[in-house]
Amino acid sequence: MIKREWPKSNELVVCTVSEVTDFGAYVELDEYGKKEGLIPMAEVAPGWIKNIRNYVREGQKIVCRVLKVNPSKYHIDLSLKDVNKHQKRQKIQEWKNELKAEKWLQIVAESTSTSNEELQRIIDLLVDKFENLYIAFEEAAIKGSNILTDIGVNKKQANAITKIASENIKIPLVDISGYVDLTCPLPDGVNIIKNALDKATIVDEKNVKLEISYTGAPRYRIRVIAPDYKKAEKLLRQSAQIAIDTVKSSGGLGEFHRR
């Protein structure tokens, strides 16, 4: 349902192994219209590989990191060894969630007699605002249909999305995310940014979880899980501001993005 053309470098992608050879493995990118990618032998696993089939096999579902993308040559280089177990689990779960959300949105379209053109318009609105469909459903379950009508979704579809979100997504805690772009041109800029992120992850509140992950230079994702939205939003913005202020105090730049 979401029109995805080409992945970006450093992005994590879900793939299905289509062919295993002596020099690497060919895969299909599930989120990008089954476009073909190649995992060179050196990117399958660290160290010397005696038998590549000990690591990949035809039909296997794997998560890879995008190394290079050349649309003109229809070529994508991938790495399997650069994805750890935690990243794999997280990406697979996000992918499964997105498949659910696409199915739910199709149900919404059918129940509200939404045309394909209008459905695509809604998808574009949701992805532009929330990054992906599942997050849009989560936000609707937490905050109600107004968060959808405020961005241009018609009331009928917004109510239907909120209803199916409330029925299918159980959220005992509020889970929100934002992004900070951090750059520092100094020779020790990497350490300055690392120090800023370390400070930004310190939380004194009870029943609150805050984690920061790297999404691709210069962007970092801040995720906050808290008992209520007000507290989560406050902590998210505080964390982002701490990171930004720390980097700026050392000559760098920082910017916060809510979505």
Looking at residue 141, its pLDDT comes to: 86
Residues 178 and 162 occupy one common structural domain: no
Q: Which of 154, 166, 151, 168 is nearest to 112 (CA)?
A: 154
The 10 Å Cβ neighbour count of residue 96 is 12
1 part of a folded domain: no
Instruction: Say if residue 122 is in the same domain as residue 63.
Output: no
The residue from 114, 143, 168 where one domain ends is 168
What CATH number does residue 41 fall under? 2.40.50.140
Domain stop point among 28, 59, 82 = 82
Question: In this structure, is residue 18 part of a structural domain?
Answer: yes
- In DSSP terms, 131 is beta-bridged to none
- Name the band, by pLDDT with cuts 50, 70 and 90, for residue 151: very high
Q: Which domain holds residue 115?
A: 86-168
Q: What is the pLDDT of residues 107-147, one digit of tens each?
A: 999 999 999 999 999 999 999 999 899 999 988 987 789 99
CATH number at residue 250: 3.30.70.1130
| CATH number of the domain encompassing residue 112 | 1.10.150.190
Q: Is the pLDDT of residue 241 over 80?
A: yes
Tokens 């959808």 correspond to 148
Q: What is the pLDDT of residue 152?
A: 96
User: How many domains would you assign to the chain?
Assistant: 3
Nearest CA among 220, 71, 45, 120 for reference residue 29? 71
Q: pLDDT digit string (tens) for 5-46?
A: 899 999 999 999 999 999 999 999 999 999 999 999 999 999
